[in-house]
Amino acid sequence: MLIRRGERSHALEHEVTPERVYQDFRRERRRVLAGALGLGAACALPRAFAAAGGYDDVDPGSAPDWLDRRLADARWKAVEPGPEDRLTPFDDVTHYNNFYEFGSGKDDPARYAGGLVTEPWSVVIDGEVARPGRLALEDVVGESRLEERIYRLRCVEAWSMVIPWLGVPLADLLARVEPTSKARFVRFESLHDPEQMPGQRSRYGLIDWPYTEGLRLDEAMHPLTLLAVGLYGHSLPNQNGAPLRLVVPWKYGFKGAKSIVRISLTETQPRTSWQSLAPNEYGFYANVNPEVDHPRWSQACERRLPSGLFRPNLIETRMFNGYADQVASLYQGMDLRADY
């Protein structure tokens, strides 16, 4: 057991987060995942699915033994998008990335991330939790069953993808570490290692490393929020945020912290990297909203990859990236132009 127990909180579970989150979590999770996403009954494909790759023309890469064992029991296609959303080809998913730790070019992550050592990997859990400690990646996943969830990914730069992630609900991990009654937000911190990450050595870099992101606790506990350890049936490629990244499908892609090494629960709203860099451009919430443009990019439409000069493949952007039925209630009464 790798969790070091700290002082236990006197908080009861129902005092920790909004009542509707904890008390209805299991029921809500089933409802959301089986709801308007176009999800059919969750189906487990044959174990051979993982072993054989499950997808054509996909480089399986390498995976630690623990992940190989867990793939055999994964819940494949637990969430699928609508029929109009076709999977983005693996090559685009792995060669068109924003991962500034490896450079600002879209192909820099695939070019420079190969040497990142992702095994062993551990994550510090601290802050307003009753059970702080350092967890090996396998223990971050815990006993939760891996799920494949095919989500839309919308970048604030107005391009988008459809990606089959593999991961576990963030809520499962948070429930295990027992947030205290003071916990209101979750802060994510990415790896800071200039020796392995050339983008962090750049004299032209603007980000004050390490990269940080944050969510409200009820956003973090939402059934759609995923800690991803893989995609396309295999472990997560380095350029996509290996070995552990955050996926919040109704928010712009920059909210998805990559190569996570610390998860802290806080009483106050954490300052995020992009918010610190340009608060007039990047808000804390960063919900996909076609009615609120970024100063440099209209958010009304998006370029779904793959696309080309003569076939730009433009589609209209949907509120909350198409997940409004599941998440709009989180922001009831808020001015989404002010809280962008």
Tell me, letter by letter, the H, E, C secondary structure of 223-246. Answer: CCCEEEEEECCEECCHHHCCCCEE
For the record, the structure tokens of 305 come out as 């990859």
Residue 301, marked binder:
no
Burial class (CB in 10 A: 0-12, 13-18, 19+), 296: exposed
Q: How far apart are CA 244 and CA 261, in angstroms?
A: 8
Residue 324, marked binder:
no
- 25-33 vs 170-177: helix crossing angle, rounded to 10: 170
- Contact (CB, 8 A) for 234 and 212: no
Peptide bond just before 60 cis, omega within 30 deg:
no
For the record, the structure tokens of 24 come out as 């209805």
Query: How many CB atoms are closer than 10 A to CB 262?
Result: 20
Closest CA to 245 of 258, 232, 231: 258
Residue 257, marked binder:
yes
State the residue for tokens 């909004």.
18
For the record, the structure tokens of 262 come out as 């610390």
Residue 101, marked binder:
yes
Q: What is the predicted pLDDT for the residue at 310?
A: 83
Count of alpha carbons within 13 angstroms of residue 8, beta-carbon side: 4
Sequence-separated (6 or more) residues with CB below 8 Å from residue 275: 282, 283, 284
For the record, the structure tokens of 195 come out as 């020796």
Residue 43, marked binder:
no
Q: What is the predicted pLDDT for the residue at 52?
A: 41
For the record, the structure tokens of 234 come out as 């295999």
The DSSP result for 252-295, as a single string, is -GGGS--SEEEEEEESSPPPPHHHHH-TTT--SS-B--TTS--S
Phi-psi group of 200: left, alpha or beta (phi > 0 → left; psi -120 to 50 → alpha; rest → beta): alpha
CA of residue 162 relative to chain centroid, distance: 13
Q: Which domains does the chain have, with CATH numbers?
A: 65-150+166-282 (3.90.420.10)
Q: What is the predicted pLDDT for the residue at 11?
A: 40
* β-strand partners of 148: 166
pTM of the model as a whole: 0.86
Residue 176, marked binder:
no
State the residue for tokens 């630690």.
64
Q: What is the predicted pLDDT for the residue at 60?
A: 83
Q: Is the dihedral of CA 200, 282, 330, 270 positive or negative?
A: positive
- For every residue of 124-183, which 3-state class applies, written as one string? EEEECECCCEEEEHHHHHCCCCCEEEEEEEECCCCEEEEEEEEEEEHHHHHHHHCECCCC
**Residues in the chain with pLDDT values less than 50:** 1-24, 36-48, 50-53
Residue 69, marked binder:
no
Residue 44, marked binder:
no
